[in-house]
Amino acid sequence: QKTLNQCRSYNICFHHLLLLNIKQSLREGNSLLQECNRAHEWFRGMNRRQRIVMAVIIGGSLIYIILTQTLLVFSSPPGEPTEPEFRKTCSSVLQKISKNKVVEEDKSLPVIYVVTPTYRRPEMVAELTRLGQTLTMVPRVHWIVAEDSNTCTASVQNILERLGLPYTHIASPMPEVYRKERYVPRGVSNRRASLEWVREYGEDTGILYFLDDDNAIDIRLFEEMRTTKKVSMWPVGLIGEYTVSSPVVKDGKVVAFYDGWPAGRKFQVDMAGFAVNMGFLKSQAAKQEKVQAAKQDKKHPKVTMPYIAGHEEDGFLKSLNMGISDIEVKAEGCTQILVWHTQTIWNPSHALWLDKHQTDNIKKLTDNMRHLGMIK
């Protein structure tokens, strides 16, 4: 408390304290106090004009940060859909296939339900091919690929059939009202549809994991998450201002989060940074629905993911009615990075002139590229 009070007496520290987590500042009291003392001496050495300019800069920064954070946290998004969301399960295969034969897997292993939202773009097939081939190296995986579309794409279906993984292919377009938002909540409709599917068909002993098509993952992480009892977490690399998003762990327990974008979130994690036990998810969902029925309140919170860009993970985890004490720590005490938020360079879709190539291979090549969504 002494450290915090000392800092409050120095105007130059206001901006610094606003940017830092207050609890972290208290734990780092000695170093912060020294920094404040140096800043205070520097401030005292200014002339009157310099102090006025500095005060204007600090005041403007404070106002800007407060306004932007308020808009992010308290702005009013459209909320839950007012109309039923479109869902279409195009195909589903529950067994692993290799060379047209069923592959027997160890059924004592919990199934990992990997949910991957995707949408049509030139990079889509490349992303799904890379990720899918990684999943073929993991036993007892069921891949749920959900497209932001009214129909399922043939090229995605071909990938799923060729890889031979147990899979479910879903079409689940985002409701149009959310496409008008300044920050579009991409992938939410797909994950919500996948949540409905796993709640109905998923095994209670299984594990739910959200893995986007632009992620890269070390297959060792799958074996770590397979033992999840409620909710497990680990670091995600190549994301945000800190280049990592991770739980803060002390004595084997999560005590806070290390993330470059707090934004009022209780659980400051990336989508690829946690897994949920299916039995726990189903039990929490049943409890929420029981309360909802008893209160006859359709607005009562339920286990789902909100259509709020940047708050999808936090909203979903809070809907599970869990606390930080429920989190299980993985990846060697959250000291190792086993999944990365990589991003493929955007490639615009071009229209090609092929008048001179109607009789050679380029005609067929570009037809196939068009089928894959790579060109117009």
Residues annotated in the binding site for Mn(2+), as ranges? 214
Report CA 18 to chain centroid distance, whole Å: 26
What are the Cα distances from residue 133, in Å, to 51, 160, 217? Answer: 60, 10, 11
Residues annotated in the binding site, as ranges? 214
Specify whether the CB–CB gap between 134 and 217 falls below 8 A: yes
Task: Fill in the DSSP letter of residue 310.
Answer: T
CB atoms within 10 A of CB 53: 11
| Listed residue (231, 230, 234, 241) closest to 220, CA to CA | 234
Instruction: Give the amino acid at 371.
Output: H
SS3 annotation, 71-88: HHHHCCCCCCCCCCCCCE
Q: Is the dihedral of CA 349, 352, 357, 363 positive or negative?
A: positive
Q: Return the pLDDT at 270.
A: 98
Contact residues for 329 (Cβ-Cβ < 8 A; gap 6+): 232, 233, 234, 247, 249, 252, 253, 254
Q: Return the pLDDT at 224.
A: 98
Predicted TM-score (pTM) of the model is: 0.79
Which DSSP string do the residues of 137-148 spell out, in sequence order? TSSSEEEEEEES
What torsion do the CA atoms of 162, 165, 171, 173 make, to the nearest 10 degrees? Answer: -110
State the residue for tokens 């090609």. Answer: 352
Structural domains of the chain in order of their starting residue, each with its CATH number: 2-74 (no CATH), 88-340 (3.90.550.10), 347-376 (no CATH)
Which active-site residues does the annotation give?
313
**Mean pLDDT by 10-residue block, N- to C-terminus, for the chain (376 residues)?**
46 45 53 67 75 82 73 63 94 94 96 98 96 98 98 97 98 95 94 98 98 97 98 97 97 97 96 99 93 72 91 97 97 98 86 88 92 87
CA angle 234, 279, 257 (to 5 degrees): 25
